[in-house]
Amino acid sequence: MTSSGPGERRAAGEQVVREMFGETFLRKNMVAPAEGTGPGADMARLALEQCFGEVWSRPGLDRRSRSLVTLGVLMALGHQWEVRNHVLGALANGLTSEEILEAVLQTAPYIGLPAAGQAMTSAARALEEA
């Protein structure tokens, strides 16, 4: 999707987040901050409109593939809270627990054992929650 306006991107972004993370996550972590005036308002709007409304809505990759790419990047950067969130999103996008854990192992030679170990812990905890 390459929507022309922020309203269309926002609606598309909300739909992607709803499908990946659920209505409660969408309302609490994205919509409420985006509609506020606090320090995270602009960031939440950017995430909804650009990240999820524009990039995640594009036709070039399916969501399953986008989840694998996103998990790899988040693991490499050491963003464990986002790894946790995106493990849950990856499940909603059709990845299995086994595939997610295998993706973590795949990153180990490239991001290092300490980073991969932290990612494995985050992924395993998220899978226990799911």
**How does pLDDT run across 11-48, given as a tens digit for each residue?**
999 999 999 999 999 999 999 999 999 889 999 999 99
For 102, the token pair is 């295998």
Residue 88: the pLDDT is 98
Residue 7 — very low, low, confident or very high, per pLDDT cuts 50/70/90? Answer: very high
pLDDT at 3 over 60: no
pLDDT band at residue 2 under the 50/70/90 scheme: low
d(CA 46, CA 23): 19
Using 50, 70 and 90 to split pLDDT, how confident is the model at 1? low
For the chain, how many helices (H) and strands (E)?
8, 0
Residue 68: name the closest of 46, 44, 101 by CA: 101
Q: How far apart are the first and last CA of the chain?
A: 29
Q: Sketch out the chain's domains with CATH numbers.
A: 6-55 (no CATH), 63-129 (1.20.1290.10)
Instruction: Give the E-state strand segments of 39-93 in sequence order.
Output: none
Res 38: pLDDT? 86
pLDDT of residue 83: 98
pTM value? 0.91
Q: Which amino acid is at 79?
A: H
> Quick one: angle between helices 97-111 and 113-129, nearest 10?
160
Tell me the pLDDT tens digit for each residue of 52-102: 999 999 999 999 999 999 999 999 999 999 999 999 999 999 999 999 999
